[in-house]
Structure 1
Amino acid sequence: MKLFSHSSIILPVPNVKEATEYYRDILGFKISFLWQDPPTYGVVNREDAVGIHFTESSDPLFTAHAKLYIFVNDTDAVFDEYKKSRANIIEPINDTDYKMREFVIEDLNGYKIVIGKGI
């Protein structure tokens, strides 16, 4: 039996509703949980493989150094999807010297999200 099940990042954001709607509408996630009205905590999921949690916070320093890496099975397909959905792609798709094919987007709160797959 595996001792660990899964993990999820919790990103502090000023507006949980806006964050979850952005991830749904632009990045193709499903909103799976909102707590309170208006929401102060929320969860989005993509294909039951990637979960991201959001918690309400007014601290602007969180995004300064935070970066999320999402591993995918087809970097080019996700890149094409995100180009069409108007995601803010801040680094184009490329092959790195550390053997990853990846690109970087920035969400509405300034979080950098690297999308990639080993090559």
Structure 2
Amino acid sequence: MKTVFTACTPILTVRDITKAKSFFVHNLGFTLDFDWGAPPTYAGLHRDAVCIHLIQEGASRQKAGTGNITILSNEVDELFIQCQRNGVDIVVPPEDRPYGLRDFAFRDPDGNVINVGCDALVK
């Protein structure tokens, strides 16, 4: 039987896991699925079909703020406006790109870059 990949979960390294969880829940609409450790050093969140895990700097081999992920969505402009309202650090505003996506990018409080894109024909 051929192996079929069914999902991929990025893990972002953060300095303060409590602050990072709050950012993803309150600014982006994610739901906390679990915390691990006492005090927590690892957490899992989801929104719709997208999962993101967070790991506390020191419990990871990576430095906080070095992550870069892309999330595909059905639209980006509404989320962009929401991020602006919430004071999220926008790196690149929404634009139709020559590679067929309309996307924008922002930083979480630790400097990890999150790109959100949709089909350029969907606005």
The interval holding the TM-score normalised by the smaller chain is 0.7 to 0.9
Identity of aligned residues (%): 29
- In the alignment, structure 2 segments of 5+ residues that lack a partner are none
Which string of whole-angstrom CA distances, capped at 9 and with x for unpartnered residues, describes residues 56-97 of structure 1?
223674534x31101010111221222222221121111111
- In the alignment, structure 1 segments of 5+ residues that lack a partner are none
- Extract structure 1 runs of 4+ deviating beyond 6 A: none
TM-score by length of 2: 0.83
Q: Name the aligned partner's letter for residue 51 of structure 1.
A: C
Which of 50-59 and 16-25 deviates more? Answer: 50-59
Q: Write out aligned runs for 1:94-113 (5 A).
A: 94-113=95-114
- For the aligned residue pairs, the C-alpha RMSD in angstroms reads 2.0
TM-score by length of 1: 0.86
Which string of whole-angstrom CA distances, capped at 9 and with x for unpartnered residues, describes residues 29-59 of structure 1?
1111111232111011112x11100112236
Q: Name the aligned partner's letter for residue 22 of structure 1.
A: F
The number of aligned residues is 117
Report the Cα offset of residue 15 of structure 1. Answer: 2.0
